Chain A
Amino acid sequence: MFLELGGDGGDPMAVISVSHISKTFEGVCAVCDLSFAVEAGSCFGLLGPNGAGKTTMMKTIYGAAARDKKCSGTIEVFGFDPARDELSIKYLSGVVPQENNLDEELNVVQNLLVYAKFYGLPARVARERIEALLSFLELSEKVKARIRELSGGMKRRLVIARALLNNPRLLILDEPTTGLDPQVRHLIWEKLRQLRAGGTTILLTTHYMEEAFQICDRVLIMDKGRRVMEDQPQRLMEQNIERYVLEVPQEQAAVIDSRELPEAVRVDHALGISRFYCDDLDRLKVVTDMLDGHPYYLRQANLEDVFLKATGRGLNEKQ
Protein backbone atom coordinates (compact mmCIF):
# COMPACT_ATOMS: atom_id res chain seq x y z
CA MET A 1 0.00 0.00 0.00
CA PHE A 2 1.30 3.46 -0.75
CA LEU A 3 -0.07 6.93 -0.63
CA GLU A 4 -0.93 8.52 -3.89
CA LEU A 5 -1.02 12.26 -3.66
CA GLY A 6 -3.20 14.47 -5.76
CA GLY A 7 -5.64 11.78 -6.88
CA ASP A 8 -9.15 12.97 -7.60
CA GLY A 9 -8.99 15.47 -4.80
CA GLY A 10 -9.96 14.64 -1.27
CA ASP A 11 -7.73 13.93 1.67
CA PRO A 12 -4.91 11.56 0.68
CA MET A 13 -4.76 10.17 4.24
CA ALA A 14 -8.45 9.33 4.21
CA VAL A 15 -9.67 5.73 4.11
CA ILE A 16 -13.15 7.01 3.30
CA SER A 17 -13.79 10.15 1.27
CA VAL A 18 -17.38 11.13 0.79
CA SER A 19 -17.99 14.16 -1.35
CA HIS A 20 -21.38 15.76 -2.04
CA ILE A 21 -23.43 12.58 -1.77
CA SER A 22 -27.23 12.59 -1.90
CA LYS A 23 -29.74 9.79 -1.58
CA THR A 24 -33.44 10.30 -2.17
CA PHE A 25 -36.19 7.85 -1.24
CA GLU A 26 -39.47 8.57 -2.99
CA GLY A 27 -38.80 12.26 -3.15
CA VAL A 28 -37.57 12.50 0.44
CA CYS A 29 -33.93 13.37 0.89
CA ALA A 30 -32.41 10.78 3.26
CA VAL A 31 -28.87 12.04 2.69
CA CYS A 32 -28.44 15.56 1.36
CA ASP A 33 -25.19 16.71 -0.17
CA LEU A 34 -23.08 15.17 2.57
CA SER A 35 -19.30 15.30 2.58
CA PHE A 36 -16.79 13.98 5.09
CA ALA A 37 -13.52 12.11 5.28
CA VAL A 38 -12.37 9.40 7.68
CA GLU A 39 -8.66 9.34 8.34
CA ALA A 40 -6.74 6.09 8.48
CA GLY A 41 -6.56 4.69 11.99
CA SER A 42 -9.19 7.01 13.42
CA CYS A 43 -12.67 6.43 14.77
CA PHE A 44 -15.34 8.50 13.08
CA GLY A 45 -18.89 8.74 14.41
CA LEU A 46 -22.07 9.60 12.54
CA LEU A 47 -24.50 10.97 15.09
CA GLY A 48 -28.10 11.79 14.64
CA PRO A 49 -31.66 11.00 15.69
CA ASN A 50 -33.48 8.05 14.12
CA GLY A 51 -34.25 8.86 10.52
CA ALA A 52 -31.34 11.28 10.17
CA GLY A 53 -29.87 9.21 7.34
CA LYS A 54 -26.96 7.63 9.25
CA THR A 55 -27.64 4.06 8.19
CA THR A 56 -28.31 5.05 4.58
CA MET A 57 -25.03 6.97 4.46
CA MET A 58 -23.21 4.01 5.95
CA LYS A 59 -24.77 1.55 3.51
CA THR A 60 -23.73 3.58 0.49
CA ILE A 61 -20.15 3.22 1.67
CA TYR A 62 -20.11 -0.56 1.26
CA GLY A 63 -22.53 -0.81 -1.64
CA ALA A 64 -25.66 -1.92 0.24
CA ALA A 65 -27.39 1.27 -0.84
CA ALA A 66 -26.93 3.15 -4.08
CA ARG A 67 -26.42 6.90 -4.06
CA ASP A 68 -28.60 9.01 -6.33
CA LYS A 69 -27.57 8.54 -9.91
CA LYS A 70 -28.03 12.18 -10.70
CA CYS A 71 -25.86 13.41 -7.85
CA SER A 72 -22.41 14.27 -9.08
CA GLY A 73 -20.77 13.37 -5.79
CA THR A 74 -18.15 10.70 -5.25
CA ILE A 75 -17.33 8.09 -2.63
CA GLU A 76 -13.92 6.53 -2.32
CA VAL A 77 -13.10 3.77 0.12
CA PHE A 78 -9.46 2.68 -0.06
CA GLY A 79 -9.56 4.42 -3.42
CA PHE A 80 -12.43 2.24 -4.66
CA ASP A 81 -15.87 3.43 -5.69
CA PRO A 82 -18.55 1.26 -4.01
CA ALA A 83 -20.72 1.55 -7.13
CA ARG A 84 -18.07 -0.28 -9.14
CA ASP A 85 -15.79 -2.10 -6.72
CA GLU A 86 -18.02 -3.21 -3.86
CA LEU A 87 -16.20 -6.55 -3.63
CA SER A 88 -12.83 -4.94 -3.00
CA ILE A 89 -14.29 -2.67 -0.35
CA LYS A 90 -16.17 -5.48 1.36
CA TYR A 91 -13.11 -7.71 1.33
CA LEU A 92 -11.07 -5.05 3.13
CA SER A 93 -13.85 -4.08 5.54
CA GLY A 94 -15.92 -5.67 8.26
CA VAL A 95 -19.54 -4.64 8.68
CA VAL A 96 -21.70 -4.87 11.80
CA PRO A 97 -25.28 -4.24 10.59
CA GLN A 98 -27.89 -2.69 12.82
CA GLU A 99 -29.67 -5.99 13.36
CA ASN A 100 -28.00 -9.17 14.57
CA ASN A 101 -28.68 -11.36 11.56
CA LEU A 102 -27.06 -14.56 12.78
CA ASP A 103 -28.10 -17.98 11.54
CA GLU A 104 -30.28 -19.27 14.37
CA GLU A 105 -29.99 -22.85 13.14
CA LEU A 106 -26.23 -22.90 13.58
CA ASN A 107 -24.18 -22.61 16.74
CA VAL A 108 -21.60 -19.93 17.47
CA VAL A 109 -18.58 -21.48 15.78
CA GLN A 110 -20.63 -22.73 12.81
CA ASN A 111 -21.93 -19.22 12.22
CA LEU A 112 -18.37 -17.96 11.96
CA LEU A 113 -17.17 -20.89 9.84
CA VAL A 114 -19.95 -20.35 7.32
CA TYR A 115 -19.14 -16.67 7.16
CA ALA A 116 -15.39 -17.33 6.79
CA LYS A 117 -16.24 -19.10 3.51
CA PHE A 118 -17.35 -15.79 2.01
CA TYR A 119 -13.79 -14.52 2.39
CA GLY A 120 -12.30 -17.72 1.00
CA LEU A 121 -10.40 -18.36 4.23
CA PRO A 122 -8.88 -21.86 4.32
CA ALA A 123 -10.48 -23.98 7.05
CA ARG A 124 -7.34 -24.12 9.20
CA VAL A 125 -6.82 -20.35 9.08
CA ALA A 126 -10.51 -19.80 9.76
CA ARG A 127 -10.45 -22.02 12.85
CA GLU A 128 -7.39 -20.29 14.28
CA ARG A 129 -8.83 -16.87 13.68
CA ILE A 130 -12.21 -17.81 15.11
CA GLU A 131 -10.58 -19.07 18.27
CA ALA A 132 -8.61 -15.84 18.64
CA LEU A 133 -11.66 -13.66 17.93
CA LEU A 134 -13.92 -15.50 20.35
CA SER A 135 -11.27 -15.07 23.00
CA PHE A 136 -10.85 -11.37 22.12
CA LEU A 137 -14.59 -10.78 22.50
CA GLU A 138 -14.78 -12.98 25.62
CA LEU A 139 -17.02 -15.59 24.03
CA SER A 140 -14.68 -18.57 24.25
CA GLU A 141 -17.02 -20.46 26.57
CA LYS A 142 -19.86 -20.12 24.07
CA VAL A 143 -18.18 -21.87 21.13
CA LYS A 144 -20.86 -24.55 20.87
CA ALA A 145 -23.78 -22.51 22.18
CA ARG A 146 -26.90 -22.13 20.09
CA ILE A 147 -27.71 -18.59 19.02
CA ARG A 148 -30.96 -18.44 20.94
CA GLU A 149 -29.12 -19.28 24.15
CA LEU A 150 -27.03 -16.13 23.80
CA SER A 151 -27.90 -12.85 25.51
CA GLY A 152 -28.28 -9.70 23.44
CA GLY A 153 -24.79 -8.60 24.38
CA MET A 154 -23.28 -11.93 23.36
CA LYS A 155 -25.05 -11.85 20.00
CA ARG A 156 -23.73 -8.37 19.40
CA ARG A 157 -20.19 -9.43 20.25
CA LEU A 158 -20.55 -12.43 17.95
CA VAL A 159 -21.60 -10.18 15.07
CA ILE A 160 -18.56 -8.03 15.78
CA ALA A 161 -16.37 -11.16 15.76
CA ARG A 162 -17.93 -12.07 12.41
CA ALA A 163 -17.07 -8.66 11.02
CA LEU A 164 -13.45 -9.12 12.16
CA LEU A 165 -12.98 -12.51 10.47
CA ASN A 166 -10.96 -11.18 7.56
CA ASN A 167 -8.78 -8.85 9.67
CA PRO A 168 -10.48 -5.78 8.22
CA ARG A 169 -8.62 -2.52 7.82
CA LEU A 170 -11.94 -0.71 8.11
CA LEU A 171 -14.65 -1.64 10.59
CA ILE A 172 -18.14 -0.26 9.95
CA LEU A 173 -20.62 -0.50 12.82
CA ASP A 174 -24.27 0.54 12.73
CA GLU A 175 -25.38 1.31 16.28
CA PRO A 176 -23.01 -1.21 17.89
CA THR A 177 -24.35 -0.94 21.44
CA THR A 178 -28.00 0.05 21.12
CA GLY A 179 -30.10 -1.77 23.71
CA LEU A 180 -27.17 -3.32 25.57
CA ASP A 181 -26.44 -3.10 29.28
CA PRO A 182 -23.68 -0.81 30.59
CA GLN A 183 -21.14 -3.58 31.20
CA VAL A 184 -21.35 -4.86 27.65
CA ARG A 185 -21.27 -1.35 26.24
CA HIS A 186 -18.09 -0.56 28.10
CA LEU A 187 -16.57 -3.86 27.03
CA ILE A 188 -17.39 -3.19 23.37
CA TRP A 189 -16.00 0.33 23.61
CA GLU A 190 -12.80 -1.01 25.09
CA LYS A 191 -12.48 -3.58 22.28
CA LEU A 192 -13.07 -0.90 19.66
CA ARG A 193 -10.39 1.26 21.25
CA GLN A 194 -8.00 -1.68 21.14
CA LEU A 195 -8.76 -2.27 17.47
CA ARG A 196 -8.19 1.38 16.68
CA ALA A 197 -4.91 1.25 18.58
CA GLY A 198 -3.98 -1.66 16.33
CA GLY A 199 -4.50 0.51 13.27
CA THR A 200 -8.08 -0.37 12.30
CA THR A 201 -10.10 2.54 10.97
CA ILE A 202 -13.58 2.66 12.49
CA LEU A 203 -16.78 4.23 11.23
CA LEU A 204 -19.83 3.96 13.45
CA THR A 205 -23.29 5.37 13.79
CA THR A 206 -24.84 5.99 17.14
CA HIS A 207 -27.35 8.11 18.94
CA TYR A 208 -25.60 7.63 22.25
CA MET A 209 -23.62 10.76 22.89
CA GLU A 210 -21.61 8.99 25.52
CA GLU A 211 -20.52 6.43 22.98
CA ALA A 212 -19.34 9.10 20.59
CA PHE A 213 -17.52 10.88 23.40
CA GLN A 214 -15.88 7.67 24.63
CA ILE A 215 -14.46 6.33 21.39
CA CYS A 216 -14.76 8.77 18.49
CA ASP A 217 -11.89 10.98 17.40
CA ARG A 218 -14.30 12.94 15.30
CA VAL A 219 -18.06 13.13 15.07
CA LEU A 220 -20.44 14.41 12.45
CA ILE A 221 -23.85 15.34 13.78
CA MET A 222 -26.48 14.96 11.11
CA ASP A 223 -30.17 15.70 11.05
CA LYS A 224 -32.68 15.19 8.23
CA GLY A 225 -29.90 13.99 5.94
CA ARG A 226 -27.75 17.07 6.39
CA ARG A 227 -24.59 17.87 8.27
CA VAL A 228 -25.30 19.99 11.32
CA MET A 229 -21.78 20.15 12.71
CA GLU A 230 -18.56 18.17 12.66
CA ASP A 231 -15.51 18.23 14.92
CA GLN A 232 -13.69 16.45 17.71
CA PRO A 233 -16.19 15.67 20.49
CA GLN A 234 -14.40 17.85 23.03
CA ARG A 235 -14.27 20.81 20.67
CA LEU A 236 -17.93 20.40 19.74
CA MET A 237 -18.78 20.77 23.39
CA GLU A 238 -16.43 23.67 24.03
CA GLN A 239 -17.67 25.61 21.07
CA ASN A 240 -21.36 24.88 21.15
CA ILE A 241 -22.52 24.54 24.71
CA GLU A 242 -21.91 26.08 28.10
CA ARG A 243 -19.86 23.99 30.52
CA TYR A 244 -22.56 23.35 33.11
CA VAL A 245 -26.24 22.56 33.10
CA LEU A 246 -28.81 22.84 35.87
CA GLU A 247 -31.94 20.76 35.35
CA VAL A 248 -35.13 21.51 37.27
CA PRO A 249 -38.67 20.17 36.78
CA GLN A 250 -40.54 22.89 34.97
CA GLU A 251 -43.25 23.45 37.62
CA GLN A 252 -40.61 24.02 40.30
CA ALA A 253 -38.66 26.29 38.02
CA ALA A 254 -41.74 28.49 37.85
CA VAL A 255 -40.73 30.12 41.16
CA ILE A 256 -37.68 31.56 39.45
CA ASP A 257 -38.14 35.01 38.07
CA SER A 258 -36.19 35.10 34.84
CA ARG A 259 -35.44 38.78 35.42
CA GLU A 260 -33.45 37.87 38.51
CA LEU A 261 -31.23 35.33 36.75
CA PRO A 262 -27.49 35.98 36.87
CA GLU A 263 -25.90 37.22 33.71
CA ALA A 264 -24.84 34.71 31.00
CA VAL A 265 -27.30 32.08 32.16
CA ARG A 266 -29.27 30.66 29.25
CA VAL A 267 -32.64 28.99 29.86
CA ASP A 268 -34.41 26.38 27.82
CA HIS A 269 -37.79 24.81 28.69
CA ALA A 270 -38.70 21.53 27.03
CA LEU A 271 -40.67 18.37 27.81
CA GLY A 272 -41.28 19.24 31.45
CA ILE A 273 -37.72 20.22 32.30
CA SER A 274 -36.18 23.64 32.55
CA ARG A 275 -32.47 23.74 31.82
CA PHE A 276 -30.14 26.56 32.85
CA TYR A 277 -26.82 26.65 31.04
CA CYS A 278 -23.75 28.58 32.12
CA ASP A 279 -19.94 28.39 31.91
CA ASP A 280 -19.70 29.52 35.51
CA LEU A 281 -20.75 26.99 38.12
CA ASP A 282 -21.19 29.62 40.82
CA ARG A 283 -23.81 31.46 38.85
CA LEU A 284 -25.86 28.28 38.52
CA LYS A 285 -25.53 27.82 42.30
CA VAL A 286 -27.12 31.21 42.67
CA VAL A 287 -30.04 29.83 40.66
CA THR A 288 -30.30 26.75 42.89
CA ASP A 289 -30.61 29.06 45.92
CA MET A 290 -33.72 30.52 44.31
CA LEU A 291 -35.42 27.10 44.29
CA ASP A 292 -36.55 27.07 47.96
CA GLY A 293 -35.07 23.61 48.53
CA HIS A 294 -36.76 21.95 45.57
CA PRO A 295 -34.72 19.09 44.03
CA TYR A 296 -32.44 19.88 41.12
CA TYR A 297 -29.66 18.24 39.11
CA LEU A 298 -26.49 20.20 38.50
CA ARG A 299 -24.03 18.60 36.10
CA GLN A 300 -21.40 19.14 33.43
CA ALA A 301 -22.75 19.63 29.95
CA ASN A 302 -22.23 16.69 27.62
CA LEU A 303 -22.43 15.90 23.98
CA GLU A 304 -26.11 15.12 24.32
CA ASP A 305 -26.78 18.75 25.18
CA VAL A 306 -24.94 19.80 22.03
CA PHE A 307 -26.85 17.24 20.07
CA LEU A 308 -30.25 18.32 21.34
CA LYS A 309 -29.37 21.95 20.83
CA ALA A 310 -28.30 21.17 17.28
CA THR A 311 -31.13 18.87 16.23
CA GLY A 312 -33.92 20.33 18.33
CA ARG A 313 -35.99 18.67 21.03
CA GLY A 314 -39.08 17.98 18.96
CA LEU A 315 -39.54 14.59 17.32
CA ASN A 316 -39.36 14.16 13.58
CA GLU A 317 -41.84 11.96 11.73
CA LYS A 318 -39.45 8.98 11.71
CA GLN A 319 -38.82 8.85 15.46
Chain B
Amino acid sequence: MRSSEAVPYPHLAWRLYSVWYRHMRVYTKNLVSNGLPPFLEPLLFLAGVGLGLGRYITESMDGMSYLTFLGTGLLVTTAMFTASFECTYATFIRLEFDKVYDGMLAAPITVNNLIVGEILWAGTKGLFFSFAVLCILTPFGIVHIPHALPAPLVGFLTGVMFASMSLLVTSFVKTINHFNFYMTGFLSPMFFFAGVVFPVSNLPRPVQFVAEIVPLTHSVRLVRAVCVSRYDLGLLADMVYILVFVAIVGALAVRRLRRRLVS
Protein backbone atom coordinates (compact mmCIF):
# COMPACT_ATOMS: atom_id res chain seq x y z
CA MET B 1 0.00 0.00 0.00
CA ARG B 2 1.51 3.27 -1.09
CA SER B 3 1.13 6.80 0.11
CA SER B 4 0.38 9.08 -2.78
CA GLU B 5 1.58 12.24 -1.07
CA ALA B 6 4.74 13.17 0.77
CA VAL B 7 4.57 12.49 4.50
CA PRO B 8 4.45 15.75 6.50
CA TYR B 9 7.06 14.86 9.12
CA PRO B 10 8.62 17.90 10.84
CA HIS B 11 11.48 19.71 9.11
CA LEU B 12 15.09 19.57 10.30
CA ALA B 13 15.08 22.63 12.56
CA TRP B 14 11.98 21.39 14.36
CA ARG B 15 13.42 17.91 14.81
CA LEU B 16 16.57 19.37 16.40
CA TYR B 17 14.42 21.61 18.55
CA SER B 18 12.30 18.69 19.74
CA VAL B 19 15.42 16.83 20.91
CA TRP B 20 16.69 19.99 22.61
CA TYR B 21 13.25 20.52 24.16
CA ARG B 22 13.20 17.03 25.65
CA HIS B 23 16.55 17.62 27.38
CA MET B 24 15.53 21.09 28.51
CA ARG B 25 12.28 19.80 30.06
CA VAL B 26 14.06 17.02 31.92
CA TYR B 27 16.79 19.38 33.14
CA THR B 28 14.44 22.14 34.31
CA LYS B 29 12.25 19.62 36.13
CA ASN B 30 14.58 19.91 39.13
CA LEU B 31 15.23 23.61 38.82
CA VAL B 32 16.62 24.21 42.28
CA SER B 33 19.04 21.30 42.44
CA ASN B 34 20.11 21.78 38.81
CA GLY B 35 19.96 25.55 38.56
CA LEU B 36 21.49 26.74 41.81
CA PRO B 37 24.96 25.11 41.87
CA PRO B 38 26.14 26.98 38.74
CA PHE B 39 25.75 30.18 40.76
CA LEU B 40 27.20 28.84 44.00
CA GLU B 41 30.30 27.31 42.49
CA PRO B 42 31.89 30.53 41.17
CA LEU B 43 30.89 32.26 44.40
CA LEU B 44 32.84 29.72 46.44
CA PHE B 45 35.75 29.85 44.08
CA LEU B 46 35.98 33.61 44.17
CA ALA B 47 35.62 33.68 47.92
CA GLY B 48 38.56 31.30 48.20
CA VAL B 49 40.71 33.19 45.78
CA GLY B 50 39.56 36.71 46.66
CA LEU B 51 39.82 36.33 50.41
CA GLY B 52 42.69 33.87 50.55
CA LEU B 53 44.95 33.15 47.63
CA GLY B 54 44.50 36.51 45.87
CA ARG B 55 46.39 38.61 48.36
CA TYR B 56 49.59 36.64 47.71
CA ILE B 57 49.33 37.24 43.97
CA THR B 58 49.97 40.89 43.39
CA GLU B 59 51.51 40.70 39.94
CA SER B 60 49.11 41.41 37.09
CA MET B 61 48.54 38.65 34.56
CA ASP B 62 48.10 39.53 30.91
CA GLY B 63 47.49 43.08 32.05
CA MET B 64 44.65 42.29 34.44
CA SER B 65 44.25 41.64 38.15
CA TYR B 66 44.42 38.02 39.24
CA LEU B 67 40.74 37.94 40.16
CA THR B 68 39.79 39.13 36.69
CA PHE B 69 42.25 36.75 35.08
CA LEU B 70 40.90 33.73 36.91
CA GLY B 71 37.28 34.88 36.88
CA THR B 72 37.20 35.28 33.12
CA GLY B 73 38.74 31.81 32.78
CA LEU B 74 35.93 30.40 34.90
CA LEU B 75 33.42 31.68 32.37
CA VAL B 76 34.52 28.96 29.98
CA THR B 77 35.80 26.19 32.25
CA THR B 78 32.35 25.95 33.78
CA ALA B 79 30.92 25.50 30.27
CA MET B 80 33.57 22.91 29.53
CA PHE B 81 32.78 20.85 32.60
CA THR B 82 29.00 20.95 32.31
CA ALA B 83 29.01 20.03 28.60
CA SER B 84 31.54 17.29 29.22
CA PHE B 85 29.53 15.73 32.04
CA GLU B 86 26.35 15.99 30.00
CA CYS B 87 27.85 14.21 27.02
CA THR B 88 29.78 11.53 28.90
CA TYR B 89 28.10 10.20 32.04
CA ALA B 90 24.62 11.51 31.25
CA THR B 91 24.74 10.44 27.62
CA PHE B 92 26.04 7.02 28.58
CA ILE B 93 23.21 6.54 31.06
CA ARG B 94 20.65 7.53 28.44
CA LEU B 95 22.34 5.21 25.96
CA GLU B 96 22.96 2.11 28.02
CA PHE B 97 20.94 2.15 31.25
CA ASP B 98 17.74 4.10 30.70
CA LYS B 99 17.51 3.31 26.97
CA VAL B 100 16.08 6.79 26.48
CA TYR B 101 17.43 6.95 22.94
CA ASP B 102 15.59 3.80 21.88
CA GLY B 103 12.37 5.55 22.82
CA MET B 104 13.29 8.80 21.08
CA LEU B 105 14.41 7.05 17.90
CA ALA B 106 10.98 5.47 17.56
CA ALA B 107 9.70 8.99 16.86
CA PRO B 108 10.35 10.72 13.52
CA ILE B 109 13.91 11.84 14.19
CA THR B 110 17.14 10.40 12.83
CA VAL B 111 20.28 9.44 14.73
CA ASN B 112 21.96 12.56 13.33
CA ASN B 113 19.12 14.75 14.64
CA LEU B 114 19.41 13.08 18.02
CA ILE B 115 23.15 13.67 18.36
CA VAL B 116 23.22 17.19 16.94
CA GLY B 117 20.27 18.09 19.20
CA GLU B 118 22.25 16.72 22.11
CA ILE B 119 25.29 18.85 21.18
CA LEU B 120 23.10 21.94 20.92
CA TRP B 121 21.61 21.20 24.32
CA ALA B 122 25.07 20.82 25.88
CA GLY B 123 25.99 24.16 24.26
CA THR B 124 22.92 25.70 25.86
CA LYS B 125 24.00 24.38 29.23
CA GLY B 126 27.42 25.90 28.59
CA LEU B 127 25.72 29.21 27.85
CA PHE B 128 23.66 29.03 31.03
CA PHE B 129 26.60 28.07 33.25
CA SER B 130 28.69 30.85 31.74
CA PHE B 131 25.85 33.26 32.33
CA ALA B 132 25.69 32.17 35.98
CA VAL B 133 29.39 32.94 36.42
CA LEU B 134 28.87 36.31 34.75
CA CYS B 135 26.05 37.05 37.21
CA ILE B 136 28.46 36.47 40.09
CA LEU B 137 31.47 38.28 38.62
CA THR B 138 29.64 41.45 37.63
CA PRO B 139 28.42 42.68 41.07
CA PHE B 140 31.92 42.19 42.43
CA GLY B 141 33.30 44.42 39.70
CA ILE B 142 35.49 41.63 38.39
CA VAL B 143 34.11 42.01 34.89
CA HIS B 144 32.03 44.88 33.56
CA ILE B 145 28.88 44.95 31.55
CA PRO B 146 27.83 45.75 28.93
CA HIS B 147 30.99 44.67 27.14
CA ALA B 148 31.21 41.33 28.99
CA LEU B 149 27.63 40.47 27.99
CA PRO B 150 28.58 38.31 24.97
CA ALA B 151 30.72 36.07 27.22
CA PRO B 152 27.98 33.40 27.56
CA LEU B 153 28.06 33.06 23.78
CA VAL B 154 31.66 31.94 24.13
CA GLY B 155 30.32 29.60 26.81
CA PHE B 156 27.92 28.21 24.19
CA LEU B 157 30.74 27.62 21.69
CA THR B 158 32.83 26.01 24.40
CA GLY B 159 29.91 23.79 25.36
CA VAL B 160 29.38 22.73 21.76
CA MET B 161 33.07 22.00 21.33
CA PHE B 162 33.38 19.86 24.45
CA ALA B 163 30.05 18.16 23.77
CA SER B 164 31.37 17.01 20.38
CA MET B 165 34.57 15.74 21.89
CA SER B 166 32.86 14.06 24.83
CA LEU B 167 30.40 12.29 22.54
CA LEU B 168 33.31 11.01 20.51
CA VAL B 169 34.87 9.69 23.72
CA THR B 170 31.52 8.18 24.73
CA SER B 171 31.35 6.32 21.44
CA PHE B 172 34.43 4.34 22.51
CA VAL B 173 33.49 3.73 26.12
CA LYS B 174 32.26 0.29 27.16
CA THR B 175 31.79 0.80 30.90
CA ILE B 176 30.93 4.05 32.62
CA ASN B 177 34.08 4.03 34.78
CA HIS B 178 36.25 4.63 31.73
CA PHE B 179 35.16 8.25 31.77
CA ASN B 180 37.38 8.77 34.81
CA PHE B 181 40.38 8.62 32.48
CA TYR B 182 38.93 11.34 30.31
CA MET B 183 38.07 13.53 33.29
CA THR B 184 41.33 13.28 35.22
CA GLY B 185 43.59 12.55 32.28
CA PHE B 186 42.35 15.21 29.90
CA LEU B 187 39.96 17.78 31.34
CA SER B 188 41.71 18.41 34.65
CA PRO B 189 45.17 18.97 33.08
CA MET B 190 43.55 21.29 30.58
CA PHE B 191 42.15 23.31 33.43
CA PHE B 192 45.71 23.96 34.60
CA PHE B 193 47.63 24.20 31.36
CA ALA B 194 45.34 26.11 29.03
CA GLY B 195 45.86 29.54 30.50
CA VAL B 196 42.99 29.56 32.98
CA VAL B 197 44.90 29.64 36.26
CA PHE B 198 48.10 31.24 34.93
CA PRO B 199 49.25 32.44 31.50
CA VAL B 200 50.80 29.84 29.20
CA SER B 201 53.23 32.35 27.76
CA ASN B 202 55.82 31.69 30.49
CA LEU B 203 55.71 27.91 30.20
CA PRO B 204 58.39 25.89 28.37
CA ARG B 205 58.00 25.85 24.58
CA PRO B 206 56.79 22.24 24.26
CA VAL B 207 54.09 22.84 26.86
CA GLN B 208 53.07 26.01 25.06
CA PHE B 209 52.81 24.04 21.85
CA VAL B 210 50.53 21.46 23.50
CA ALA B 211 48.45 24.26 24.99
CA GLU B 212 47.85 25.61 21.48
CA ILE B 213 46.52 22.24 20.34
CA VAL B 214 43.97 21.64 23.11
CA PRO B 215 40.58 23.29 22.70
CA LEU B 216 40.20 25.12 25.99
CA THR B 217 43.06 27.54 25.29
CA HIS B 218 41.13 29.04 22.40
CA SER B 219 37.95 29.46 24.43
CA VAL B 220 39.84 31.19 27.22
CA ARG B 221 41.52 33.60 24.81
CA LEU B 222 38.19 34.45 23.20
CA VAL B 223 36.33 35.00 26.44
CA ARG B 224 39.07 37.23 27.92
CA ALA B 225 39.09 39.35 24.79
CA VAL B 226 35.33 39.72 25.05
CA CYS B 227 35.40 40.60 28.75
CA VAL B 228 37.95 43.39 28.38
CA SER B 229 36.90 44.38 24.84
CA ARG B 230 40.41 43.77 23.57
CA TYR B 231 39.82 42.41 20.10
CA ASP B 232 42.59 41.58 17.63
CA LEU B 233 42.98 39.55 14.46
CA GLY B 234 44.51 36.60 16.34
CA LEU B 235 41.07 35.87 17.74
CA LEU B 236 39.94 34.97 14.25
CA ALA B 237 42.33 32.03 14.39
CA ASP B 238 40.72 30.93 17.68
CA MET B 239 37.26 31.16 16.12
CA VAL B 240 38.37 29.15 13.11
CA TYR B 241 39.95 26.56 15.41
CA ILE B 242 36.69 26.14 17.32
CA LEU B 243 34.52 25.88 14.21
CA VAL B 244 36.82 23.40 12.47
CA PHE B 245 37.16 21.37 15.66
CA VAL B 246 33.39 21.13 16.08
CA ALA B 247 32.87 20.22 12.43
CA ILE B 248 35.45 17.43 12.38
CA VAL B 249 35.05 15.98 15.85
CA GLY B 250 31.26 16.37 15.75
CA ALA B 251 31.05 14.51 12.44
CA LEU B 252 33.23 11.71 13.80
CA ALA B 253 31.08 11.46 16.94
CA VAL B 254 27.90 11.23 14.87
CA ARG B 255 29.41 8.53 12.69
CA ARG B 256 30.61 6.41 15.56
CA LEU B 257 27.54 6.79 17.73
CA ARG B 258 25.31 5.90 14.79
CA ARG B 259 26.92 2.47 14.76
CA ARG B 260 26.07 2.12 18.40
CA LEU B 261 22.47 3.31 18.11
CA VAL B 262 21.50 1.57 14.88
CA SER B 263 22.36 -2.08 15.15
Q: Which residues of A contact B (CB under 8 A)?
A: 1-4, 7, 12-15, 25, 40, 56, 59, 62-66, 78-80, 85-88, 90-92, 94-95, 97, 99, 101-106, 110, 114-115, 117-120, 159, 162-163
Contacts and interface: CB of A to CB of B under 8 A. Distances in A.
A99 B109 CA distance: 19
20 contacts: A4-B2, A62-B106, A64-B102, A80-B3, A87-B9, A87-B110, A90-B106, A91-B7, A91-B108, A92-B3, A97-B99, A99-B99, A101-B102, A104-B98, A105-B30, A114-B21, A118-B108, A118-B109, A120-B18, A159-B103
Given A91-B9, A105-B26, A105-B29, A79 B1 contact: yes
Interface size class of B (residues with CB under 8 A): 20 to 34
Nearest to A59: B263
Nearest to B7: A88
Contacts of B10: 118-120
A97 B4 contact: no
A57 to B, nearest CB: 12
A141 B18 CA distance: 27
A101 B110 contact: no
Interface in B7-43: 7-10, 14-15, 17-18, 21-22, 25-26, 29-30
Contacts of A14: 1
A110 B18 CA distance: 14
B105 interface: yes
**B10, B99, B263, most chain A CB atoms within 10 A:** B263
A115 B25 CA distance: 11
Nearest to B18: A117
A210 B110 CA distance: 35
A90 B109 CA distance: 8
B262 interface: yes
A4 B3 CA distance: 9
Interface in B200-235: none
B100 interface: yes
Contact of A118 (B1, B7, B102, B107): B107
A114 B20 CA distance: 10
B104 interface: yes
Contact of B106 (A7, A85, A120, A163): A163
Nearest to A96: B106
A94 to B, nearest CB: 8
Interface of B: 1-4, 6-10, 14-15, 17-18, 21-22, 25-26, 29-30, 98-100, 102-110, 261-263
B1 A12 contact: yes
B103 A102 contact: yes
Given A106-B25, A114-B22, A120-B9, 6 more contacts: A15-B1, A64-B106, A90-B106, A103-B22, A118-B104, A119-B10
A15 B1 CA distance: 5
A118 B106 CA distance: 10
Contacts of A163: 106
Nearest to A15: B1
Given A2-B2, A65-B262, A88-B3, A119 B108 contact: yes
Contacts of A118: 10, 15, 18, 104, 107-109
A166 to B, nearest CB: 8
Contacts of B100: 101, 103
Given A40-B1, A88-B3, A92-B3, A25 B103 contact: no
B113 to A, nearest CB: 9
Contacts of B109: 87, 90, 118
Contacts of A94: 106
A261 B102 CA distance: 54
**A79, A101, A105, most chain B CB atoms within 10 A:** A101
Kindly list the 5 A-B residue pairs having the minimum CB-CB distance in the complex, ordered from nearest: A79-B2, A118-B107, A95-B106, A101-B103, A120-B10
A90 B2 contact: no
Contacts of B21: 114, 117
Nearest to A94: B106
A122 to B, nearest CB: 12
A106 B29 contact: yes
Nearest to B19: A118
**A13, A63, A64, A159, most chain B CB atoms within 10 A:** A64
Contacts of B29: 105-106, 110
A87 B103 contact: no
Nearest to B100: A101
Nearest to B103: A101
A97 B102 contact: yes
Nearest to B21: A117
Contacts of A106: 25-26, 29
A1 B7 contact: no
A106 B30 CA distance: 10
Contacts of A25: 263
Given A101-B98, A106-B29, A92 B7 contact: yes
Contact of A87 (B1, B22, B30, B108): B108
Contacts of B18: 117-118, 120
A105 B110 CA distance: 24
Nearest to A93: B106
A105 B33 CA distance: 13
Contacts of B262: 63-66
